[in-house]
Structure 1
Amino acid sequence: MADGPLIVQSDRTVLLEVAHPDAETARHELAIFAELERAPEHIHTYRITRLGLWNARAAGHDADDMLAALERWSRFPVPPSVSIDVRETVGRYGRLVIERDAEGALILRSTDAAVLAEVARNKRIQPLLIGHPSPGAYVVDPWARGHIKQELLKIGWPAEDHAGYTPGTPHEIELREDGWTLRPYQRQAVDIFSEGGSGVVVLPCGAGKTLVGAAAMARTKTTTLVLVTNTVSARQWRDELLTRTSLTPEEIGEYSGQLKEIRPVTIATYQILTAKRKGQYAHLALLDALDWGLIVYDEVHLLPAPVFKLTADLQARRRLGLTATLVREDGREGDVFSLIGPKRFDAPWKQIEAQGFISPAVCYEVRVDLPPDDRLEYAAAPDDARYRLAATAAAKIDVVRDLVARHPGEQILVIGQYLDQIGELADALDAPQITGTTPVDERELLYSAFRQRKIPLLVVSKVANFSIDLPEASVAIQVSGTFGSRQEEAQRLGRLLRPTSDGTTASFYTLIARDTIDQDFAQNRQRFLAEQGYSYTILDADEVRAA
């Protein structure tokens, strides 16, 4: 019997023995189709989910591939019920197809009459069907292309969408590969996306997601709407497109709270698209302002809920989602799958690190004891106040000083959640701070000074989580965060993964108040790092001080 690192259980959970010599290889193959649920020190628990299997199938992995991975690394025989369940679940993907007939009508088609009859009788799907021209086909109401995909996924029958896309208004865009070239995985991601027409590309921060977007634009050569998280990100996209493509300043517009430009390539923020005036979305006209042939969703895991509803009406446009993680804290991964598209390409962080395209990183959890008075205040506090008390403990400030002293000459980010804590840290460290209230122009000046190594230390709020290019950062000290968010952990670690000029190994510290809810939330964030193959070293604050 094999001595593998996995134990596959009949409830579709998979246990991974972290210390096993083959653990990392097995994790890489398992993460393609299974989701990490728990990641304590020695045994990690994965679950094989329907959506994980369908995303893997859409990315080109079949049931034989997935079962072979389980059998190759499992210590005991894979339970027959799991093998059957995996095959049957994967086999559901693509049994239903959405396409167009000769007259251009939207058709839901299947060669399995029983499946088609089952979905057609569903009370939420039935109103979306307006004709039954043949035994194997139903006509879908033209407006319902996105909505029907959502409903089909909910009942366990994901449809492959082959109905095609509007080409949009042609617009010439070329990549300018002067002194650089697309990395192999970037080129592969663009090739696979172009074949599928729509979907999500998953790459770690620092691996060049913006270049994948630019290359997709050059491939489609059409008017493009790029949706981003904030104005700073919009301007970084603009700068990158001007540097890497044939686009000129006159061809790129910014549509944000400050500017309302509509150009052949328009970069808009999620905030402006979801802004309301008198109860109505005030900027929906942007979606039809030009005949967009491509819509790029940057940081698609942060897509605000209202944008899903808007996207349901954009199914005739090619859609490219870019993200470091498909995890959503609101559980709407299924809507990403249905409305943006399935995962088309996923390159594991550690694999890209091994190729030298992102920096290696070591992760530490530093546990801090609360002083007796603070511990009593925490114990007496109501539940809804406890996390803030633990996360903003004054005892963390001295530890941050010690950690900064541990890394002389390096570029350091100190990251917090709460404005008063950020102010205290900035004063204690005599460092500039960036928060949501910092004007955009001032933010850009500070980021630029940090990139040029004129400022060695920045104290930042969650505004620095998203789409900020700080290639010289090699140390991040996370003092507080958003309730154990795995999304946030991906973004914050990603701030360190762009290779530095001197090849420094990145250090990622998270400060935790011991025996509090702060420590409980930290376990959730660790799941993301464990999934990507990073392990935590747990340090006591006294060890940091001694070093």
Structure 2
Amino acid sequence: MQIDSKRPLIVQSDFTILLEVRHPQFDAVRAGLARFADLVKTPEHIHTYRMSALSLWNAAAAGMTTQEITTFLEDNAKFGVPHTIKHDIRRFVERYGLIRIESLGEDLLLISDDVEAIKEMVSFKSLRSYGLCQVDNKTLRFSATYRGALKQELIKLGYPVEDLAGYSRGEELPIRLKPESMAGKEFQLRDYQSSAVDSFYREGSLQGGSGVLVLPCGAGKTIIGIAAMGKLNCATLILTTNSTSVRQWKHEILDKTDATEEMVGEYTGKMKDVRPITIATYQILTYRKSKDDLFKHMDLFNKRDWGLIVYDEVHLLPAPVFRVTADIQATRRLGLTATLVREDGREEDVFSLVGPKRYDMPWKELEGKGWIASVTCTEIRVPLPDGARDQYMTAESRAQMRIASENPAKFAIVDELLERHKGDQVIIIGQYIDQLKDISSFTGAPLIYGQMPHEEREKWYCKFRSGELSVIVVSKVANFAVDLPDASVAIQLSGSFGSRQEEAQRLGRILRPKEGVNKASFYSIVSSDTKEQDFALNRQLFLIEQGYTYRIEERVPEADSVNQLKAVYSADGQEAALS
């Protein structure tokens, strides 16, 4: 075993990998690790990654070999790689594709060149309900009805299936990408966007047509989805997170392709238009009047002969949609996301039902080519004042989160950050309207929120874009608003219980390339030693997983600042919270 203490990794026998944060090669090694391991802990000096069967299967599906993975680890590990780890990596990587599905008329075949693997399939009691019929010692036949369910069951048993059974063509729909946008700007795919589409399409072969593309915030996942539609030229159902995203998809489709208004339908709480290209929300699909009722909008999957289904933000795909997806495995499926990690732990269902990871774009490459700004993320922890701390300690769990989020001591930090970034375009983002009204009064910046008339909102946006206004305060409209102007600084006052999706959306507000020094700053102000700090760990994990530098600052506002805040708050009868 070769020992080199100057290397950044320690590979442990429990499949965890420790990475030194301050090592000169941190960024390059982090990007390499992310291809086959998941980030699980982010202390200040050492980040912990863990390889798993699923992370290695995804790496194999994306084209990585056992040799690539073990060589990378050996080249970067201080104390070498345990022999058992190398053996297990080989075992897991080679397991992907050991069993494959192919078609035979109306039926499907489970095929393996490993006779012992087929024997094991026959022995599993949980597979007997799928009507497996042995053809020979390397082949089992089953009904196409069970294509999705069988893949789900096999991955639980440790057999990730390579599905080569092919797909139905779907309804024909010629779509061409336009050479320029409606605004007259030249439009062409960036090189990595073309690579991502090609990784999914795979020249129309049986190996293409299903899978997940993982790209950082700001990489243009919508454009990639549209380009995939252009490759396949078929009726397409797009599922996304909310009505604002529906409108964004529609705008981009009309702007970047020759599709007409009549071809694109919205299927939301307000509209139910089913067109050759239909964009729906996860919420409408999973809506029902009570938990005992049926999901009446799930029949959208059968409203047309879809040739492609796009799952936007696939890590948020609701469980009921998985059940329908299991029944439509003959339809091509494309997942788009910035992270494969799900809060509910159902990553295996994404792998088996939507498809494995086909492409993973290192964020540093985007930043290096100037496609996104270089962002520094900073979490500033500030204690609750004594009165608010007492109130926090006696409150119920949900109330504790709000008390921590509305910590008035955060205002002094906002004041400090605005002074630090004087002259920059700054967006202050928060969850609670009362808090935002106070910060708007405190800073003199206008507050933009959901109930504000569009004309008034656009007035403030225009002033912000022109530079006449350098600071705006925004509510949750910042999470999804398509028309929100770009900024170079975002200050997050409060958020939704550590939501990774929200963090991605808010970060995206400052990722557009900047003229001159292409840099931006993202601040989260958090009440220390509270539930808000606990939830911030989830957000922190997401940002570091994306590769961003993340600093933590502990801060105690000066007495003069707190006294000034007391004066501000006493006018609203809130002095008790600061006493």
TM-score bin (small chain): over 0.9
The equivalent residue for 1:173 is 175
Distance 1:490-1:327 versus aligned 2 partners, 3 A rule: farther
Letter of the aligned partner of 2:193 in structure 1? Q
Secondary structure (helix, strand or coil) at the match of 1:14 reads strand
1:372 and 2:386 matched:
yes
Q: Does 1:241 align with 2:253?
A: yes
Q: Secondary structure at the match of 1:61?
A: coil
In 2 relative to 1, CA 311–5 (structure 1 residues): closer, same or farther, beyond 3 Å? same
For 2:327 and 2:440, how far apart are their aligned partners in 1?
A: 45
Alignment of 1:127-526 (within 5 A): 127-178=129-180, 179-195=186-202, 196-277=208-289, 279-429=293-443, 430-435=445-450, 456-462=470-476, 464-466=478-480, 468=482, 470=484, 472-501=486-515, 504-526=518-540
Larger Rg: 2
Gaps of 5+ in 1: none
Shift of 1:496: 1.8
C-alpha contact 2:461 2:485 (8 A) present in aligned 1? no
Q: How big is the shift at 1:293? A: 0.5
Among the aligned pairs, what percent are the same residue? 50
| Residue aligning to 1:89 | 92
In structure 2, the CA distance between the partners of 1:456 and 1:131, relative to structure 1 (3 Å rule), is farther
Pairwise CA distance, 1:420: 4.1
The alpha-carbon distance between structure 1 residues 498 and 98, as it changes in their structure 2 partners (threshold 3 A), is same
**Distance in structure 1 (CA, Å) of the matches to 2:165 and 2:456:** 46
> Partners of 1:470 and 1:153 in 2: how far apart?
42
Q: 1:533 aligns with which of 547, 552, 561?
A: 547
Q: Taking structure 1 as reference, are residues 51 and 488 closer, same or farther at Cα in structure 2, changes over 3 Å only?
A: farther
Give deviations 1:385-406, integer Å, cap 9, x for gaps.
4333222212223422442343
Q: Which of 195-204 and 468-477 deviates more?
A: 468-477
| One-letter amino acid of the counterpart of residue 431, structure 1 | P
Per-residue deviation, 1:471: 5.7
State the Cα distance separating 1:379 from its structure 2 match: 2.8
Alignment CA distance shift 1:533-1:292 (3 Å):
same
Does the Cα contact within 8 Å between 1:328 and 1:487 map onto a contact in 2? no
Please give the alpha-carbon distance, in whole angstroms, between the structure 2 residues aligned to 1:431 and 1:226: 35
1-structure distance, mates of 2:59, 2:243: 34
User: Structure 2 CA distance, aligned partners of 1:136 and 1:444?
Assistant: 65
CA shift for structure 1 position 381? 3.3
In structure 1, give the amino acid aligned to 2:163: D
Paired with 2:323 and 2:80, the residues of 1 have a C-alpha distance of 44
Partner in structure 1 of residue 577 of structure 2: none
- Distance in 1 between residues matched to 2:380 and 2:491, nearest whole Å: 10
Post-superposition offset of 1:502? 5.6
Q: Deviations over 1:125-147 (max 9, x none)?
A: 22123432333222233222111
In the alignment, is the contact (CA less than 8 A) between 1:207 and 1:498 conserved in 2? no
Which letter does structure 2 place at the counterpart of 1:99?
E
- Offset at 1:16? 0.6
Aligned ranges 1:17-36 → 2 under 5 Å: 17-36=20-39
Mapped contact 1:40–1:523 kept (Cα < 8 A): no
Whole-angstrom distance in 1 between the partners of 2:117 and 2:332 = 28
| TM-score w.r.t. length of structure 1 | 0.92
| Partner of residue 106 from structure 1, selected from 105, 108, 111 | 108
How far apart, in 1, do the equivalents of 2:50 and 2:164 lie? 30
SS of match in other structure, 1:259: coil
SS of alignment partner, residue 15 of structure 1? strand
Find the aligned partners of 2:101 and 2:459 in 1 and give their Cα distance. Answer: 49
Rounded Cα–Cα distance in structure 2 between residues aligned with 1:329 and 1:502? 38
The alpha-carbon deviation at position 340 of structure 1 amounts to 0.9
1:74 aligns with 2:88: no
**CA displacement at 1:427 relative to structure 2:** 4.7
Matched residue count = 544
Counterpart of 2:192 in structure 1: which amino acid? Y
Distance 1:276 1:433 in 2: 32
Q: Aligned to 2:488, what secondary structure does the other structure show?
A: strand
Distance 1:350 1:467 in 2: 26
Q: Give distance in 2, aligned partners of 1:434 and 1:109.
A: 57
Matched to 1:166, the amino acid is: S
Q: Mean alpha-carbon deviation: is it higher for 144-153 or for 373-382? A: 373-382
Instruction: Please list every run of 5 or more consecutive structure 2 residues that lacks an aligned counterpart in the other structure.
Output: 181-185, 203-207, 562-579
Q: Which amino acid aligns with 2:159?
A: W
Q: Does 1:60 align with 2:72?
A: no
Residue 346 and residue 453 in structure 1: after superposition, are their counterparts in 2 closer, same or farther (change >3 A)? farther
Q: Does 2:81 correspond to 1:44? A: no
Cα RMSD between the aligned structures? 2.6
Letter in 2 for 1:314: I
2:236·2:310 contact (CA, 8 Å) conserved in 1? Answer: yes
Relative to structure 1, the CA distance from residue 120 to residue 449 in structure 2 (aligned partners, 3 Å threshold; closer, same or farther) is farther
**Displacement after TM superposition at 1:159 (Å):** 0.3
The 2-side partners of 1:172 and 1:421 are apart by 50
- Answer whether contact 1:325 1:490 (CA < 8 A) is retained: no
Provide the secondary structure at the position in 1 that maps to 2:29.
helix
CA gap of 1:172–1:158, structure 2 versus 1, over 3 A, is same
Residues 214, 508 of structure 1: alpha-carbon distance in 2 compared, 3 angstrom cutoff: same
**Change beyond 3 A, Cα 1:261–1:382:** closer
**Which letter does structure 2 place at the counterpart of 1:374?**
A
Deviation at 1:538, TM superposition (A): 2.8
